[in-house]
Homo-oligomer: A and B are copies of this chain.
Amino acid sequence: MIRFNCDYSEGAHPRIMELLAQTNMEQTAGYGEDPYCIRAAELIRRKCACKELGIQFTVGGTQVNSIVIAAALRPHQGAVCADTGHINIHESGAVEATGHKVLALPGRNGKITADQIQTACDEHFKDAAHEHMVQPGMVYLSLSTEMGTIYSRRELTEISEVCRRNDVLLYVDGARLGYGLCAEGCDLDLPVLAKLCDAFTIGGTKVGALFGEALVLRNDALKKDFRYILKQRGGMLAKGRLLGIQFLALLEEDLYFDIAARADRQAMQIRRACAEKGWNFLSDSPTNQQFPILPDMALNLLKKNYEVSDCGRIDKNHSAVRFCTSWATRDEDVKRLVRNIQTL
């Protein structure tokens, strides 16, 4: 069985494993105050072209999402997101556990628009009873989204403007940021993100690291005392350098983007093979997640050799699935899969 079901089936990119082995017996300060975290933070600031950014490293995605939201919102505020958003569906109520409602809007291709956000704000404040309702306090986007799609620079700029006009924070969950930024046609980059967002993450877990998300904070109110909240919510690693070391390995020579671009290309090969069979897709994804809708017979044959993620029945004879590539996907496995699809 070859796993195409997710992008976290293996360990870490070999360069990370090397650097971890090499530094293993060094003695450093704990809790992210070591030289590696300091260097990695400096490197991220440079790549984001902004010296004032606050950089924190955390272990996981659910964790960093709920910590940012807990740190950002007052008790009566909620986080606006697409109904397919990770925080709305797949985090076991982590946001609600911090006391905040997720305000889900109907997404298209996993995305929401500046207009939808403006309308949500207008509807809230125009309602005479708005004090009896949850106030939009933050917009949560993911890049790439749970549907593999990406926001364009224009879309993100408009959303950012709407957020600032309405005094709402903008946070981008970049668990798959590499795959998003390296997708064909993506016109976003780190400096643009750092300008448009109050906070965003550079996801490591799914893009080459053993684990780890780098959190980039632009908003000054969010930066203040953030490490207390990180500690309180279990996001501060005793041997914090493990995170600094991994992000150094990923970012120093742009390994992060090289491996993400490669995975995106592999995914597009799978996409093309599916499209050539005449299969439709749940979304127009240019990234490492592809969501074809297959005849059940074809799916059953593929499942003999490949693990995929089920995404629900579409009609009597068709189902949707997710194929994921990652930094670790082997070209030969992609070729074999493509051949298998072609000869179904």
Contact = CB atoms under 8 A, between A and B. Distances in A.
A126 B231 CA distance: 18
A21 B17 contact: yes
Given A131-B228, A131-B231, A93 B97 contact: no
Given A10-B25, A30-B9, A75-B229, A91 B132 contact: yes
Given A231-B131, A234-B66, A238-B60, A10 B24 contact: yes
B59 A11 contact: no
Contacts of A206: 238
> Looking at A29, A99, A206, A231, which has the most chain B CB atoms within 10 Å of its CB?
A231
A71 B234 CA distance: 15
A135 B228 contact: yes
A179 to B, nearest CB: 15
Contacts of A228: 75-76, 92, 131, 135
B232 A91 contact: yes
Contact of A210 (B78, B131, B242): B242
Contacts of A26: 10-11
Contacts of A129: 90
Interface in A51-96: 59-63, 66-67, 70-71, 74-76, 78, 89-94, 96
Contacts of A236: 60, 62
Interface of A: 2-3, 6, 8-12, 14, 17, 20-21, 23-31, 59-63, 66-67, 70-71, 74-76, 78, 89-94, 96-102, 128-129, 131-135, 205-206, 210-211, 225, 227-229, 231-239, 242, 310, 328
Closest 3 CB pairs of A and B: A63-B234, A76-B228, A11-B24
